[in-house]
Amino acid sequence: MPLRINLKSAVLAVSDALDLVGVNDFQHGKRVAMIARETAAVMGLPAPRLDDLVFACLLHDLGVSSTAEHRRLVSGADYPDTGVHCERAYQLLQPFAHLSLLADAIRHHHTPWAELPADLGEADALASNLILLADRVDALLLRHGLDNPLFHSAAIRREIAGLAGRTLQPEAVAAFLAASAREAFWIALVPRHVQSYLADLALPQWGIDIEFPQFRHVARLVSSIVDAKSHFTAAHSLGVAQLSRHLGECMGFAPDDLSRMEIAGLMHDIGKLCVPDEIVDKPARLTSAEFSVMERHAFETYEILRHVPGLETIAEWAAFHHEALNGQGYPFRRSAGNLAVEARIVAVADVFQALAQARPYRGPQALEEISRTLDEFAGKGVLDPDIVAVARDDLDGSWRAATQVH
């Protein structure tokens, strides 16, 4: 059956993944969406524009995959390279029909009101400035601590009022002051209520179903965000996706299954966004404490993907890539009887692609070495020997699929 996914659920899942980058500043994008939307509603923006604003806010920091960069940005201070993540987000959103609508507003979410380019449309200019306003509010909230937003509201309102003019559009600031005069505005910003605020929004314009070619854009966007986390893993997810499809082709899978395997490959490490840079890039063996953090990523992948209607099976193929046939993998300790062949394919593709790339603690392996390592893994009962045999029978083709991404 061809893949059909609801665009709204897909983008909300991407937002959940971006939340992970914050580590301790969980739900930044979601709070920004609430603050901006409540402000825009006071300004009388029509419902479709409010909906687009919510999605722009949820995705505004998608140019940030690094936990260190995220920490710096939410500190609220201006850094010389603040614009880099805005430009990166703009480039990432450009190719995708629905999401490109949000690209201009996101591109300028750190540009002061007085410095917005003259050729930016009125709607994008206002949206970008509302994101900036909400982003500042949330940075101040984080500085004060998120345990009791209401208690800090007066100080935050004063600071935002002081930014009217050059940094923030005066009407937007006035609307924010009106919206945030209610205690409920602040009380709603704690995690439990943030979830229900978003769940209550109907967002009808985004509630459309998309099929594989468009959903593949969303999955590729996710893979670009994940792969940008470390220069070691550049194009890793894309390579795993291509190799999964290639191995599936060699094994005679039907086109719809191949598409699903490709999606699983693109998204398999989405949970890695929660792992701090210091652990991902550590040039030595991880300590057991660090490894326990690393092990979370496959679980996070599962949690994010399995809640998207239509992705339940793909979630398993993606999230079980560190499971082993002998039951000694992580984090679910599945064993052969509970691992679908598609999940085993993604696992082989993951190991193959990683071996073909340098890692902080070793260089890339040559073809013969990859082949030997895969054999070892199959011998130990980690990887499926039949799939390893397929990869070894077409070592050159597999290597190309894993490393020459397009």
- Residues assigned a catalytic role: 272
- Restricted to residues 206-265, the positions that interact with Fe ion (CB under 5 A) are none
Smallest separation (angstroms) from Fe ion to the CB of 224: 14
Question: In this structure, is the dihedral angle defined by the CA atoms of residues 259, 265, 270 and 271, taken in order, positive or negative?
Answer: positive
Whose Cβ is closer to Fe ion: residue 61's or residue 124's?
A: 61
Whose Cβ is closer to Fe ion: residue 210's or residue 274's? 274
Half-sphere exposure of 152 (CA within 13 A, CB side): 17
Our finding on whether 323 is near Fe ion (CB under 5 A) is no
Question: Tokens 């959940």 label which residue?
Answer: 16
Q: Shortest distance, CB of residue 211 to Fe ion, whole angstroms?
A: 26
SS3 168: strand
CA distance to 138, 217, 239, 260, 339, per residue, from 267 (Å): 29, 12, 11, 11, 18
Query: For residues 247 and 244, what is the distance between their CA atoms, to the nearest angstrom?
Result: 5
Our CA dihedral for 279, 285, 287, 290, rounded to 10 degrees, sits at: 20
Closest contact distance (angstroms) between CB of 326 and Fe ion is 18
**Residues of span 51-110 touching Fe ion by CB under 5 A:** 61
Closest CB to Fe ion among 270 and 308? 270
Identity of the residue, 227 or 257, whose beta carbon is nearer to Fe ion in the bound complex: 227
In the complex, the smallest distance separating the C-beta of residue 34 from Fe ion, rounded to whole angstroms, is 16
* Near Fe ion by CB under 5 A: residue from 69, 138, 227, 350: 350
Q: What angle do CA 392, 396, 399 make, to 5 degrees?
A: 90
Beta-carbon contacts of residue 15 (< 8 Å; ≥ 6 apart): 29, 30, 58, 59
Stretches 20-28, 205-213, 348-356, 386-394: which one binds Fe ion (CB under 5 A)?
348-356
Stretch that binds Fe ion, among 113-121, 203-211, 269-277, 283-291 (CB under 5 A): 269-277
CB of 6 to Fe ion, least distance (A): 26
Say if CB 237 and CB 266 are below 8 A apart: yes
Q: Which stretch binds Fe ion (CB under 5 A): 15-23, 196-204, 349-357, 390-398?
A: 349-357
| Strand (E) or helix (H) holding 6 | strand 4-6
CB of 151 to Fe ion, least distance (A): 26
Among 167-175, 203-211, 248-256, 347-355, which window interacts with Fe ion (CB under 5 A)?
Answer: 347-355
The pair phi, psi for residue 152, each rounded to 5°, is -100, 5
User: Distance (Å, rounded) from C-alpha 307 to C-alpha 375?
Assistant: 35
In degrees to the nearest 10, what's the CA dihedral of 261, 263, 265, 268?
-120
Q: Residue 322 CB, nearest distance to Fe ion (Å)?
A: 6
- Of 137-145, 176-184, 254-262, 343-351, the window that binds Fe ion (rule: CB under 5 A) is 343-351
Give 39 or 233: the residue with its C-beta nearer to Fe ion. Answer: 233
Selected range binding Fe ion among 20-28, 211-219, 268-276, 324-332, rule: CB under 5 A? 268-276
**Coil, strand, or helix at residue 152?**
helix
Locus of tokens 């940094």: 167
How many residues touch Fe ion (CB under 5 A)? Answer: 3
Compare residues 94 and 148 and give the one whose CB is closer to Fe ion: 94
Nearer to Fe ion, 37 or 60 (CB): 60
Q: Which residue's CB is nearer to Fe ion, number 342 or number 350?
A: 350
Q: In the bound complex, what is the minimum distance in angstroms from residue 376's beta carbon to Fe ion?
A: 18
DSSP string, 194-212: HHHHHHH---GGG--EEEH
Confirm or reject binding of residue 269 to Fe ion (CB under 5 A): yes
| Residue 16 near Fe ion by CB under 5 A | no
Cα separation of 67 and 282, whole Å? 14
- In this structure, are residues 87 and 62 in contact, taking their beta carbons and an 8 Å threshold? no
Task: Give the span between the Cα atoms of 20 and 13, in whole angstroms.
Answer: 11
Q: Which residues bind Fe ion (CB under 5 A)?
A: 61, 269, 350
